[in-house]
Amino acid sequence: MKILVANIGSTSLKWRLFDCSSAPERLLHKGGFERVTDYPKAIEDCLGELKAGGHIQQDSDLAAVGFKTVVAKGVSGCVALTEEVLGAMEAFNAIAPAHNPPYITGIRLFAKRMPAVPLIGLFETAFYQWAPEAGVRYAVPQAWYEAGVRRWGFHGASHKFIAERSAELLGRPDVAERARNLYVDGGATAVQGAPLRVISCHLGGSSSITGIRNGVAVGNSLGFSPQSGLPHNNRVGDLDSFAIPFVMRTLGLSIDEVERQLCKEGGLKGISGVSNDIRDIQTAAAGGNAQAKLALDVFFHSARHWIGAYLLELNGADAIVFTAGIGENRPELRAALCQGLDQLGILLDPVANEKVRAVEGVISSPESRVKLLVIPTNEELVVARETKRLLDRK
């Protein structure tokens, strides 16, 4: 069973092809195009590459195409991408303006190109469907809530991967099984023993932190939109909502300009004035740039704030996991995040930490009560797995 996972950006198409016939799934091919101006041609070229490489003979060799869709009104989980679902995504375009419109356009083009191949979406909000109501509700008027103003949570594919893989690494196959089955049985898979408490830190161009109890998320630092939580590369992160009418009145900004600046001029780039890549900011900070140093400090402060929130909510943690571009590759930033937490039983092993880059590994010292782990995430694999499960159920 071959499943293509397509990652659609406004000017990019990236893909991975998995053979999901038997466990473990095999990655057969990955590729992509940047600066796409002709999307139908990009899809054609993608299929051409798969055929030229001998991975498929014809389109119908694909059991499905899976997409890491973001958010839709009244729809979450893993679903067939019907016109009704695409309409529900359209209804929430304003929540994810950089993601939903290109996905909707791209999915419609795939549907036109290969009408007989099932197109399946795994929504980024899916992992938070079982989070406690008090944790997802903003204190807004009921009408706002009914319109969709609530904490949705994002990065669901990544945090679900961490939930499953961390449980395996921590010797809890029962919890791994529960995480694996979550979208099929809603967390009904039985677990034995003490609850497994994991804090998953997805730190990259876009960052979020999630608390996970027994394989099920209790919340996510991303809220109503992917603009919240930690500061991102060039997106703002958490902000008091009253700042928006304030800058509109005080600086004379239009709502469109406010939206643009929140998405493009904020975050690490906004504070540092240097770059939206944390490596450039680190270099500038090391060279004495005070704003760059401040950007890093704001990032650490926010990350520790969210780790702290989930430490309390989970009544401690068995493990804190680092993943994504920064979490997997930047030992010095992991060290800064874990500094001075010995009273919480969090002790980093500096030697192990230096060694673990872009691979799985334990970076806590043997005395640490809380295990510190690095786990490279694999969002596309989660999309492929859930797509297969949906096909199997049908």
Per the DSSP assignment, residues forming a β-bridge with 361 are 374
The string over 291-325, giving b where at least 16 C-beta atoms fall within 10 Å of a residue's C-beta and e elsewhere, is: ebbebbebbeebbbebbebbbebbeebbbbbbbbb
Q: Smaller CB distance to ligand AMP: residue 77 or 153?
A: 153
Q: Smaller CB distance to ligand AMP: residue 119 or 201?
A: 201
Dihedral of the alpha carbons of 261, 267, 268, 272, in degrees to the nearest 10: 50
Least Cβ distance, residue 377 to ligand AMP (angstroms) = 8
Q: Smaller CB distance to ligand AMP: residue 211 or 325?
A: 325
Helix (H) or strand (E) holding 200: strand 197-202
Rounded distance between C-alpha atoms, residue 30 and residue 27, angstroms: 8
Least Cβ distance, residue 235 to ligand AMP (angstroms) = 12
The residue type of 117 is: V
Q: Are 166 and 321 a contacting pair, CB within 8 Å?
A: yes
Least Cβ distance, residue 347 to ligand AMP (angstroms) = 24
Residues at the interface with ligand AMP (CB under 6 A): 204-206, 233, 277-279, 324-326, 329-330
| Residues across the chain | 394
Alpha helices in 123-277 (DSSP H): 133-136, 142-147, 156-169, 173-185, 243-250, 255-264, 267-272
Quick one: tokens of 79?
């679903």
Q: Smaller CB distance to ligand AMP: residue 168 or 277?
A: 277
Least Cβ distance, residue 355 to ligand AMP (angstroms) = 14
The residue type of 306 is: W
- Phi, psi (rounded to 5 degrees) for 63: -70, -30
The string over 227-238, giving b where at least 16 C-beta atoms fall within 10 Å of a residue's C-beta and e elsewhere, is: bbbbbbbbbbbe
Q: Smaller CB distance to ligand AMP: residue 72 or 333?
A: 333
Q: Smaller CB distance to ligand AMP: residue 129 or 206?
A: 206
How far CA 195 is from CA of 186, 317, 344, 351, in Å, comes to 17, 10, 18, 30
DSSP 195: P
Q: Smaller CB distance to ligand AMP: residue 77 or 231?
A: 231
Q: Smaller CB distance to ligand AMP: residue 166 or 329?
A: 329
Q: Smaller CB distance to ligand AMP: residue 66 or 376?
A: 376
Q: Are 346 and 224 a contacting pair, CB within 8 Å?
A: no
Angle at 280 (CA atoms; ends 278, 282), nearest 5 degrees: 70
Q: Smaller CB distance to ligand AMP: residue 100 or 275?
A: 275
**CB nearest ligand AMP: which residue?**
325
The residue type of 326 is: I
Least Cβ distance, residue 274 to ligand AMP (angstroms) = 12
Least Cβ distance, residue 203 to ligand AMP (angstroms) = 8
The burial of 135, by beta-carbon neighbours within 10 Å (0-12 exposed, 13-18 middle, 19 or more buried), is given as: middle
Q: Are 7 and 107 a contacting pair, CB within 8 Å?
A: no
Q: Smaller CB distance to ligand AMP: residue 199 or 390?
A: 199
